[in-house]
C-alpha cells in the first residue's frame, strides 16, 4: 500500500508548537503525527491501494471503516469542500457522488495545539503491552503500562501511574511522579520531585527538580528552572480559553496547562496561568508569573 502524507499550509493557530516544524512532525504518543496517521490508515486498506491524506486531518475509526468499503476512488471533504483524504491520485472532481464523504463528528482537522493532547490520549488509551528496553531500577514502581526506550533509566523512587511512554537516552528520577497519558521524547531529563501528568514532552527537555507539568505540550530543548509550575485547572471548573490571533478560543478542556515552543527556558519559581503559551527561544526571569502569552517582539 502507498500512503502519501500531504503537508498542509502553515497555520498560525498552531503556534508556538508549529514554529519550525510541520504539523505532521509534531510528536504524539511517542511518534510523529504523520507516522501515527499512516499506522491508523494502514489497518483499513489493502496493499494495492494508494491513499492520500493531509497531515492536519485526524480521521475517526468509524469514518475509516466506512470509506474502506469503497472499491473505487473516493474523497473526504471538510465543510469548505476541501479534500482531506482520498483514494487514488486522480482528478478528484470526477469522483462520483456516492463516493464523496463529509467529515464526521468524531473526525477533525487539527487546528489548535491542544488538539494534539486529544490525539495523544486517544492513542495511549489503546496501548496494552509494556515495552522495557531501558533500565528500571528495583526501587522504581510501575503501576500501569510503561514503554521505555534504549539507554533510558528509571532511578529509585520513580512512580509511574497509568500509561507512560519514555524515549531513548532519558534519565528519569530519582523521586518523581509521572502519570498517564504522558509521552516523553528522547534525551530528556526528569529529576527530583517533578510531577508530570497527561503531557507531551518532545526531545531534549529538562525538568531537573521541583516542577509540575500538567496537560501541557513542551517543545524541544526546553529547560524548566526549579519550581516551575504550570497551572491547569480553573477555580470555577469551566473550560479553559486560550488566545489565538488575538481571539479567545474555548479549548473544550477542563484541564489544560501550557504550550511551549522550542528552546524555552524558565527561571526558578516561574508560575504559568492555564492556557498560556511561550514562543520559541523565549525565557522568564526567576519568580515570573506568566499571565499572558510570551510572544516574539513585533519587528
pLDDT per residue over 66-92, tens digit each? 999 988 889 999 999 999 999 987 677
The domain containing residue 60 runs over which residues? Answer: 2-111
Distance separating the N- and C-terminal Cα atoms of the chain: 47
Same domain membership, residue 85 and residue 185: no
Please write the tens of the pLDDT for every residue from 19-49.
Answer: 889 999 999 999 999 999 999 999 998 777 8
CA 153 – CA 52 distance, rounded (Å): 39
Of 6, 13, 17, 10, give the one whose Cα is nearest residue 41: 6
- Lowest-pLDDT choice from 92-106, 176-190, 199-213, 225-239: 92-106
The residue to which cell 483524504 is assigned: 85
Same domain membership, residue 163 and residue 105: no
Same domain membership, residue 138 and residue 102: no
In a domain, residue 138? The reply is: yes
Q: What is the pLDDT of residue 299?
A: 61
In a domain, residue 117? The reply is: no
Contacts of 202 (CB under 8 A, 6+ apart): 26, 27, 185, 218, 219, 220, 222, 262
Same domain membership, residue 144 and residue 74: no
The DSSP letter of residue 237 is -
In a domain, residue 230? The reply is: yes
CATH number, domain of 105, equals 3.90.550.10
Same domain membership, residue 135 and residue 263: yes
In a domain, residue 90? The reply is: yes
Same domain membership, residue 211 and residue 143: yes
Q: What is the pLDDT of residue 96?
A: 75
In a domain, residue 116? The reply is: no
CATH number, domain of 170, equals 2.160.10.10
Q: How far is CA 200 from CA 31, 184, 253, in A?
A: 11, 6, 16
Residue after which a domain boundary falls, among 111, 139, 166: 111
In a domain, residue 298? The reply is: no
Average pLDDT, the chain: 94
**189 is known as an active-site residue:** no
In a domain, residue 296? The reply is: no
pLDDT of 1 above 80: no
Same domain membership, residue 135 and residue 102: no
Asked if 297 and 256 count as a contact pair (C-beta separation under 8 A), the reply is no
Same domain membership, residue 188 and residue 283: yes
Same domain membership, residue 237 and residue 157: yes
Same domain membership, residue 150 and residue 99: no
Percent over 70 (pLDDT), the chain: 99
What is the total count of domains within the chain? 2
Same domain membership, residue 156 and residue 281: yes
CA 68 – CA 66 distance, rounded (Å): 6
Region of 24 on the Ramachandran plot (φ > 0 left; ψ -120 to 50 alpha; else beta)? alpha
pTM of the full predicted structure?
0.94
Please write the tens of the pLDDT for every residue from 90-111.
Answer: 677 777 778 899 999 999 999 9
In a domain, residue 250? The reply is: yes
Of 245, 248, 235, give the one whose Cα is nearest residue 275: 248
CA 173 – CA 159 distance, rounded (Å): 9
Same domain membership, residue 85 and residue 180: no
Amino acid at each position: 500500500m502507498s500512503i502519501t502524507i500531504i503537508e498542509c499550509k502553515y497555520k498560525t493557530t498552531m503556534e508556538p508548537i508549529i514554529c519550525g516544524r510541520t504539523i505532521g512532525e509534531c510528536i504524539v504518543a511517542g511518534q510523529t503525527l504523520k507516522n501515527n496517521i499512516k499506522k491508523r490508515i494502514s489497518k483499513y486498506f489493502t496493499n494495492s491501494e494508494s491513499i492520500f491524506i493531509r497531515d492536519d486531518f485526524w480521521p475517526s475509526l468509524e469514518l475509516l471503516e466506512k470509506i474502506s468499503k469503497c472499491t473505487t476512488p473516493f474523497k473526504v471533504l471538510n465543510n469548505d469542500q476541501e479534500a482531506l483524504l482520498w483514494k487514488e491520485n486522480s482528478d478528484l472532481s470526477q469522483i462520483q457522488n456516492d463516493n464523496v464523504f463529509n467529515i464526521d463528528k468524531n473526525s477533525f482537522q487539527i487546528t489548535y495545539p491542544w488538539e494534539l493532547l486529544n490525539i495523544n490520549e486517544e492513542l495511549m488509551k489503546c496501548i496494552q503491552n509494556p515495552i522495557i528496553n531501558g533500565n528500571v531500577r528495583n526501587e522504581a514502581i510501575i503501576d500501569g503500562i510503561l514503554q521505555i526506550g534504549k539507554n533510558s533509566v528509571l532511578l529509585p523512587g520513580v512512580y509511574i501511574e497509568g500509561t507512560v511512554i519514555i524515549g531513548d537516552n532519558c534519565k528519569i528520577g530519582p523521586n518523581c511522579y509521572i502519570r498517564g497519558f504522558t509521552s516523553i521524547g528522547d534525551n530528556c531529563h526528569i529529576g527530583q520531585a517533578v510531577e508530570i501528568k497527561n503531557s507531551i514532552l518532545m526531545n531534549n527537555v529538562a525538568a531537573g527538580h521541583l516542577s509540575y507539568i500538567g496537560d501541557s505540550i513542551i517543545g524541544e530543548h526546553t529547560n524548566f528552572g526549579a519550581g516551575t509550575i504550570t497551572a491547569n485547572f480553573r477555580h470555577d471548573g469551566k473550560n479553559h480559553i486560550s488566545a489565538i490571533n488575538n481571539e479567545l478560543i474555548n479549548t473544550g478542556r477542563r484541564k489544560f496547562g501550557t504550550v511551549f515552543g522550542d528552546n524555552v527556558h524558565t527561571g526558578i519559581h516561574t508560575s504559568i496561568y492555564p492556557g498560556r503559551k511561550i514562543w520559541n527561544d523565549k525565557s522568564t526571569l526567576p519568580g515570573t508569573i506568566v499571565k499572558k502569552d510570551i510572544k516574539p517582539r513585533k519587528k
